Amino acid sequence: MELSLHLGGLQSYEGDAIVVGVFSDGDLTAVAQAVDGLCGGAIGRLRGGAFRAALGEVFSLPLAGSSAPVALAVGLGPRAGFSHARAKKAAALAARHAKQMRLGRVGLAPLEPADAPSGGWALEATLIGAALGGYGFDRFQKEKGQGPHTLSLICAEADAPQGRAALAAAQAITAGVQAARDLVNTPPNEKTPEKLVATLQAMALEEGLDCRVIGRDELAGMGAGGILAVGRGSAHPPAIVVLRHDGGAGPWHGYLGKGMTFDSGGIDLKTAPGMLWMKSDMSGAAAVVGAMLSIHRLGVKGRFVGVLSIAENMTGADAFRPSDVLQMLSGTTVEVSDTDAEGRLVLADGLELLRREQVADIIDLATLTGAVVIALGKERAGLFSNDDAHAEQVLAAGARAAERYWRLPLDEEHSESLKSPTADMKSTGGRDGGASKAAAFLRHFAQDTPWVHLDIAGTAFEEEGGPLGHGATGFGVETLVRFAQGG
């Protein structure tokens, strides 16, 4: 999907449709009035009736006197409280509608500055949202989806500088989000650890991103007992991939992602329905890859190192067992209490690797627990931290990205639940408060490095069409990009 700029008026835009935002109250905005004029006043007549202009509601109308045949009026909800988050959601739903209508070239008519009640024009959010909503994954289908292939921001000549800036940022960010979604949507037989590593190496080479692969033998030499144990039941050996963007001076910031290419649960096997979506168990790693790609394309000033802990959790003859004791990279010994709690083991070694890099702070992303889905649902990810200032920065980045988080507790009792009679600690502490207990396990390995853990188990994928459609959402990519831009 290509994002572009159309300089000039509505009438001169040649495509299949024009998307225009409509508030549910007050006068039509200037641009909505212009589109309304081209469809005989239908928007004004129908608004409040057949078209209520609720946030994300889409109404299609024939357009006359324009070189695009269809107008897609998308509701922005009430003027009060309009935000870039609402612009992003409305644009996503409009683009999804365009995809269902098989419209290939879609123009986006943004609000005039005078009509944007708060937060500027939200040009960037509109473009990013539309790209998110128009996304589809048809690599394995003979019949390709007929969704939008070109999304053009319609922009008056006078506003060209703002339009160009928004376009450049949106192109870089959506490239990262789409890369992450493609990786997550890829079936697990096509992204075994070796294949995923090869894909990442090729991508890094193409992008000019520094990439180092720590293979199984090197991990063994280092004593990375967590990730090695998790990978042992699979015919496909684990690896850690390290991506770097060096944008000048200052300390390095660490990003870490859980990259389970498939999570069967291991010897503590999951149920069939519980296993269905476990190709998405590398969504944390995919988000880090996408963010590193975007950050690099944006040329962000700052130094970022992305660590991806990649393995497949299977049940092979040499699989690790419940009650095995592992010596982790940090030296801590861990008694395995459940082989399905594998994510924390691969992340623990990743955290230690980042500590050795002496990073200033760490953000990890992981589809870590079912418990966080029960606690927060599918709209918000859980946020845990050992450092309030770092947590606030990540929350602020999330707000700029219109990705929602909710900070959850991390108490001493959560750590106490991980006491083992046999080893320094055990890997799980019981079902209740499971997301916090998993975070407490990670906190042990983050030690005193300012660290934020984002549990994205609920937000990483949609089983049935949400605003972003079916499958991977790319959740977290934009948060990491905004964090990088702000820090």
Q: Which residues are near Zn ion by CB under 5 A? A: 260, 263, 281, 343
Cα–Cα distance measured from residue 242 to residue 353, given in angstroms and rounded to the nearest whole number: 10
Q: What tokens does 137 get?
A: 């994954």
| Annotated catalytic residue within 52, 79, 164, 270 | 270
Cα–Cα distance measured from residue 297 to residue 310, given in angstroms and rounded to the nearest whole number: 24
**Out of 382, 434, 469, 476, which residue is the one contacting ligand BES (CB under 6 A)?**
434
| Annotated catalytic residue within 258, 344, 380, 437 | 344
Contacts of 324 by beta carbon, 8 Å cutoff, 6+ apart? 229, 335, 336
385 binding partner (options Mn ion, Zn ion, ligand BES, none; Cβ < 5 to 8 Å by kind): none
The SS3 assignment for 366 reads strand
Nearer to ligand BES, 155 or 440 (CB): 440
Shortest separation between residue 351's beta carbon and ligand BES, angstroms: 17
Cα–Cα distance measured from residue 177 to residue 290, given in angstroms and rounded to the nearest whole number: 6
Q: How many CB atoms lie within 10 A of CB 351?
A: 29
Shortest separation between residue 454's beta carbon and ligand BES, angstroms: 13
Shortest separation between residue 144's beta carbon and ligand BES, angstroms: 29
Q: What tokens does 361 get?
A: 């702070």
Shortest separation between residue 223's beta carbon and Mn ion, angstroms: 23
Is residue 308 within 8 Å of 281, Cβ to Cβ? no
The SS3 assignment for 236 reads coil
266 binding partner (options ligand BES, Zn ion, Mn ion, none; Cβ < 5 to 8 Å by kind): none
Per CB under 5 A, which of residues 236..265 are in contact with Mn ion? 263
Rule CB under 6 A: say whether 466 interacts with ligand BES.
Answer: no
Pairing of the two strands 361-366 and 252-263: parallel
369 binding partner (options Zn ion, ligand BES, Mn ion, none; Cβ < 5 to 8 Å by kind): ligand BES
Cα–Cα distance measured from residue 433 to residue 435, given in angstroms and rounded to the nearest whole number: 6
Q: Count the residues of the shown chain that bind ligand BES, applying the rule CB under 6 A.
A: 16
The SS3 assignment for 341 reads coil
259 binding partner (options Mn ion, ligand BES, Zn ion, none; Cβ < 5 to 8 Å by kind): none
Pairing of the two strands 425-426 and 333-335: parallel
**Out of 17, 341, 439, 484, which residue is the one contacting ligand BES (CB under 6 A)?**
341
Q: What tokens does 373 get?
A: 């889905």
Shortest separation between residue 342's beta carbon and Mn ion, angstroms: 5
Decide if 89 is catalytic.
Answer: no
Shortest separation between residue 265's beta carbon and Mn ion, angstroms: 6
The continuous run of DSSP H or E covering 284 comes out as: helix 283-298
Cα–Cα distance measured from residue 109 to residue 126, given in angstroms and rounded to the nearest whole number: 9
Per CB under 6 A, which of residues 267..286 are in contact with ligand BES? 281
Cα dihedral 124/127/130/135 (nearest 10): -110
Contacts of 200 by beta carbon, 8 Å cutoff, 6+ apart? 211, 241, 243, 289, 308
Rule CB under 6 A: say whether 335 interacts with ligand BES.
Answer: no
Shortest separation between residue 401's beta carbon and Zn ion, angstroms: 24
Shortest separation between residue 431's beta carbon and ligand BES, angstroms: 7
Rule CB under 6 A: say whether 342 interacts with ligand BES.
Answer: yes
The continuous run of DSSP H or E covering 472 comes out as: strand 469-472
Cα–Cα distance measured from residue 186 to residue 434, given in angstroms and rounded to the nearest whole number: 29
Interaction pattern, residues 399-428, with ligand BES; x per rule: CB under 6 A: -----------------------------x
Burial (Cβ within 10 Å: 0-12, 13-18, ≥19) of residue 153: buried
Rule CB under 5 A: say whether 455 interacts with Mn ion.
Answer: no
Rule CB under 6 A: say whether 58 interacts with ligand BES.
Answer: no
The SS3 assignment for 68 reads coil
**Phi/psi class of residue 223: alpha, beta or left (left: φ > 0; alpha: ψ in -120 to 50)?**
left
Rule CB under 5 A: say whether 340 interacts with Mn ion.
Answer: yes
Is residue 268 within 8 Å of 339, Cβ to Cβ? yes
Q: Which stretch binds ligand BES (CB under 6 A): 33-41, 175-183, 302-310, 339-347?
A: 339-347
**Out of 57, 182, 312, 340, which residue is the one contacting ligand BES (CB under 6 A)?**
340
Decide if 344 is catalytic.
Answer: yes
Is residue 24 within 8 Å of 77, Cβ to Cβ? yes
Rule CB under 5 A: say whether 16 interacts with Mn ion.
Answer: no
Is residue 170 within 8 Å of 481, Cβ to Cβ? no
Interaction pattern, residues 353-392, with ligand BES; x per rule: CB under 6 A: --------------xxxxx-x-------------------
Query: Which position's Cβ is nearest Zn ion?
Result: 263
Nearer to Mn ion, 285 or 291 (CB): 285
Per CB under 6 A, which of residues 154..173 are in contact with ligand BES? none
Tell how far CA 26 is from the center of its chain.
35
The SS3 assignment for 283 reads helix
Shortest separation between residue 300's beta carbon and ligand BES, angstroms: 30
Nearer to ligand BES, 281 or 403 (CB): 281
Rule CB under 6 A: say whether 338 interacts with ligand BES.
Answer: yes
Binding site for ligand BES (CB under 6 A): 263, 281, 338, 340-343, 367-371, 373, 428, 434, 457
Binding site for Mn ion (CB under 5 A): 263, 340, 342
Residues annotated as part of the active site:
270, 344
